């Protein structure tokens, strides 16, 4: 009787341990699950593919907008980032070219990723970047300085309430970035 009980206890023990393992796996499974849910629902979508240039924009007249440029670096990182002009008077629908200078102040090769941010945030959907150093991770040799062109167009359908847009880049370190030796 006692040994039968022992066997029953061990069977239940094994089932419960299996449940423990499953739930531990579930915690890790939440990582891809979260990504899929965010993709399906469109949450967290930073990059949205543009539709073909709409014709509705063509009817709207170009109008002047102030474009302010800024940059920041996460504390403790060896980057120096600055726009060559900090304020531009531009027009919607116009191709705008501007330049950023990035410098690696450290003695190591570093890999960085710039993330653009817009103020006001609603303006983000109307600024179409054609060329940007933020499209990929950038590898910098020790002490290297490089200038990057940024080409963008501000959509003519920009709401009338927005007459000034600030474009700010944050540069993050990519510890295991591409191109690291």
Partner 1 sequence: MAIAGLAAVPQQSHRPHGWRRWLFATNHKDIGSLYLWFAFCMFLVGGVLALCIRAELFRPGLQFFQPELFNQLTTLHGLIMVFGAIMPAFTGLANWMLPLMIGAPDMAFARMNNWSFWLLPPAMALLLLSFVVPGGAAAAGWTLYAPLSVQLGMGMDLTIFAIHILGVSSIMGAINIVVTIINLRAPGMGMMKMPMFAWASLITAYLIIAVMPVLAGAVTMVLTDRHFGTHFFNAAGGGDPILYQHVFWFFGHPEVYIMALPAFGIVSQVIPTFARKPLFGYTSMVYATSSIGVLSFMVWAHHMFVTGMPATAQLFFMYATMLIAVPTGVKVFNWIATMWEGSMSFETPMLFAIGFILLFTIGGLSGVTLSVAAVDVQLHGSYYVVAHFHYVLVAGALFSLFSAVYYWFPKMTGRMYVERLGQLHFWWSLLWFNVTFFPMHFLGLAGMPRRIPDYALQFTQFNQIASVGAFMFGLGQLIFLVNILYSLSHGKTAAQQPWEGGNTLEWRLPTPAPYHSFSEAPQLDVAENGVVVAMQGGKHG
Nearer to partner 1, 88 or 118 (CB): 118
CA distances from 94 to 30, 63, 128 (A): 44, 10, 11
Closest distance to partner 1 from the beta carbon of 181 (Å): 15
3-class DSSP state for residue 175? coil
Residue 10: CB atoms within 10 A of its CB come to 10
Q: Are 167 and 118 in contact (CB under 8 A)?
A: yes
Minimum gap (Å) between residue 126 Cβ and partner 1: 21
CB of 34 to partner 1, least distance (A): 5
Q: Which positions ≥6 away from 161 have C-beta within 8 Å?
A: none
**In the complex, which residues of this chain contact partner 1 (CB under 8 A)?**
1-2, 5, 8-9, 12-13, 16-17, 19-21, 23-24, 26-28, 30-31, 34, 38, 41, 43-44, 74, 113, 115, 172-176
Closer residue to partner 1 (CB): 20 or 151: 20
- Give the full edge-to-edge strand order of the sheet including 87-91: 87-91, 64-73, 164-173, 110-119, 138-140
Residue 68 or residue 170: which is nearer to partner 1 going by CB?
170
Please state the closest distance from residue 143 (CB atom) to partner 1, in A: 23
Question: Which residue's CB is nearer to partner 1, number 17 or number 66?
Answer: 17
């Amino acid at each position: 009787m006692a040994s039968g009980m022992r066997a029953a206890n061990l069977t239940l023990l094994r089932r419960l341990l299996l449940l423990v393992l499953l739930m531990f796996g579930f915690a890790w499974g939440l990582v891809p699950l979260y990504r899929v849910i965010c993709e399906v629902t469109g949450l967290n979508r930073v990059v949205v593919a543009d539709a073909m240039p709409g014709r509705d924009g063509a009817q709207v007249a170009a109008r002047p907008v102030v474009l302010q440029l800024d940059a920041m670096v996460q504390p403790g990182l060896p980057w120096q980032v600055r726009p060559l002009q900090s304020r531009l008077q531009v027009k919607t629908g116009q191709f705008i070219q501007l330049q950023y200078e990035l410098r690696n102040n450290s003695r190591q090769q570093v890999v960085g990723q710039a993330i653009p941010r817009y103020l006001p945030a609603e303006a983000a959907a109307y600024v179409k970047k054609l060329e940007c150093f933020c499209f990929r991770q950038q590898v910098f040799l020790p002490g290297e300085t490089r200038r990057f062109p940024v080409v963008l167009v501000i959509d003519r359908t920009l709401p009338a309430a927005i007459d000034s847009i600030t474009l700010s880049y944050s540069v993050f370190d990519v510890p295991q970035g591409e191109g690291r030796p």
